[in-house]
Amino acid sequence: MSEQPKLKRTLTLWQVIFLGLAWNTPMIYFSVFGVAFEGSNGFLTAAYFIAVLAVLFTGASYAIMAKKIPIAGSAYTFAKKAIHPNAGFLVGWVLLLNYLFAPIIAAITFGIFLNAEFPAVPAYVWIIGLITLLAVIAIRGVSSSANISRLFVILQIIFMVVFCAYLIYGLLGDGGPGSLVSTEPFINVDLSLSVALAGASIVVFSFLGFDTMTTLSEETINPKKTIPKAIFIMIAIVGVLHVGTSYFIQLSHPGFTFTNPDSAALELVSIVGGSLLRSIFITVLIAAIFTQGLASVTSVSRLLYVMGRDSILPKNFFGYIHPKFKTPVINIIIASVISLLAIFISIDDAIRFVNFGALSAFFFVNVCVISLFLKNKEKPRFSHVITNLLCPVIGAAFIAWLLALLDIPTIMGGLLWMAAGSIYLIYLTNGFKLPLPRSTKEKTVSEQNQAI
């Protein structure tokens, strides 16, 4: 009997980082600029700084779990092995909201933006064209996705650096304050903790790419070391870009106002760099949207593959790997077909699903680290208490607070999705009388890794 095709380990550290950055999309800073500016009362620097600190706790939990369980599936796999298979199923089910709707957001944004630039071409034409192109590239292999993602991510980073250079030039030039050092963006009489936290609850969604990285564990060279490093490097890159950009904006344009939150970033770019920078901004933003869509399709196909391989979803379809391309082709096609919903739904609706799914998964990854710590019967070292108990407790508390800040329709929609998953779980387990199907290659956490 021939061996079933497997995912191929080809990804290096920086390829994983660029795929995470591609899903994360550095240029998302400008996409949410207007909403974030209003939500933080203009104090974006403090909001992003708090968001970075909060994300570091959850990122640390992801790094710990990725080292202990270097298997594709992210929060789904972590919860299944660290808590209980049924908990893993529900986490994976709610995580699907995040992964299925992420490429939809990219497609909607792509269609809306290009339709505005070229009104003669309907938005749905751009949407279908993007989805088709993303599917073809994703099918060809994850290395192709990583290489394309690297190019477009570098373009985004270069643009943000150039944008900051324009701001710095204005600060040091005639009419500017002549200084780049100030505490005003962080400490201000009008800045309260509640305002900063409110802003952080919005901008925290600019740091979600590290979950994507853990879906690539089985395609990564030496994942136990590579994935944890990639998580912290990605958070550092995004944190520096977003906090730094916010800092220079607040110094150079402290009284900035805009007419429309959706176009606030475009208004700001036009003021800072005129028509030239505006044209570059539009071009790079298109590339950013494309890159985010490619990373999203790649990630959701891997999550569906793991759930199919475990027979949680029909294995013949979702657990299939193409013998030539070594990619889950059927899953890529399924995700692409679902992405066609971008023609019919609004971006606000899609974002609601992404927010609920991502934050729920983040909460349970912190719980996974706590669970493994409490199950460890050996006397822990003090450093383990800090990294495996205190830090994930702080991370879980912050994520729970963010979940509580979501609006009622979002929470209700997420709970309905979880209810549907619970019904399917009852079916799979025959009313919890049977265990969930299990992959024949699964091992327990203790068999795979010793506690850190």
Tens digits of residue pLDDT in 325-353: 778 889 999 999 999 999 988 776 777 77
pLDDT higher for 255 or 235?
Answer: 235
Determine the average pLDDT of the residues in 181-190.
Answer: 77
- Residues 291-301 have a mean pLDDT of 81
| DSSP class per residue in 392-419 | HHHHHHHHHHHHHHS-HHHHHHHHHHHH
Alpha-carbon distance 348 to 367, whole Å? Answer: 29
Question: What confidence tens digit (pLDDT) does each residue in 193-218 have?
Answer: 778 877 887 787 777 777 777 777 77
Give residue 75's pLDDT: 81
Give the CA dihedral 73, 75, 81, 83, nearest 10 degrees: -160
What's the predicted TM-score (pTM) here? Answer: 0.78
| DSSP class per residue in 217-240 | GGGBSSHHHHHHHHHHHHHHHHHH
Average per-residue pLDDT for the chain: 82
Average pLDDT score over residue span 145-167: 85
Cβ-proximal residues to 46 (8 Å cutoff; 6+ apart), any chain:
40, 185, 186, 191, 195, 196, 199
Classify residue 324 as exposed, middle or buried by CB count within 10 Å of its CB (0-12, 13-18, 19+). exposed
Domain boundaries of the chain, sorted by first residue: 13-448
Determine the average pLDDT of the residues in 224-253: 90
What's the rounded Cα separation, in Å, for the pair 254 and 42? 8
User: Three-state secondary structure along 321-336?
Assistant: CCCCCCCCHHHHHHHH
CB 83 within 8 A of CB 316: no
Among residues 278, 270, 199, which one has the least CA distance to residue 35?
199
Quick one: pLDDT at residue 143?
Answer: 60
Q: 96-105, 196-205, 223-232: lowest mean pLDDT where?
A: 196-205
Structure tokens at 92: 């994976």
Which of 95-109, 117-131, 134-148, 165-179 has the highest mean predicted lDDT (pLDDT)?
117-131
Q: Is the pLDDT of residue 73 over 90?
A: no
Q: Judge whether residue 359 has pLDDT over 90.
A: no
d(CA 169, CA 63): 39
What 3-state DSSP class applies to 181? coil
Residue 405, C-beta contacts closer than 8 angstroms, at least 6 positions apart: 198, 201
What integer is the mean pLDDT of 419-430?
91
- Residue 183's pLDDT is 78
Fold assignment, 13-448: Amino acid/polyamine transporter I (1.20.1740)
Among left, alpha and beta (phi > 0; psi -120 to 50; other), residue 410 is: alpha
* For range 438-451, the mean pLDDT: 45
φ/ψ of 378, rounded to 5, equals: -75, 150
What pLDDT, on a 0 to 100 scale, did the predictor assign at position 445?
43
Cβ neighbours of residue 187 closer than 8 Å, sequence gap 6 or more? none
How confident is the model at residue 416, as a pLDDT?
93
The pLDDT confidence band at residue 438, using thresholds 50, 70 and 90, is: low
d(CA 248, CA 245): 5
Q: What is the pLDDT of residue 313?
A: 83
Spatial CA neighbour of 231 closest among 375, 402, 108, 365: 365
pLDDT of residue 419: 94
pLDDT tens digit string along 388-412? Answer: 999 999 999 988 887 887 778 888 8
> Residue 3 pLDDT more than 60?
no
pLDDT of residue 447: 42
Instruction: Let me know: does 76 contact 303? Beta carbons within 8 Å.
Output: yes
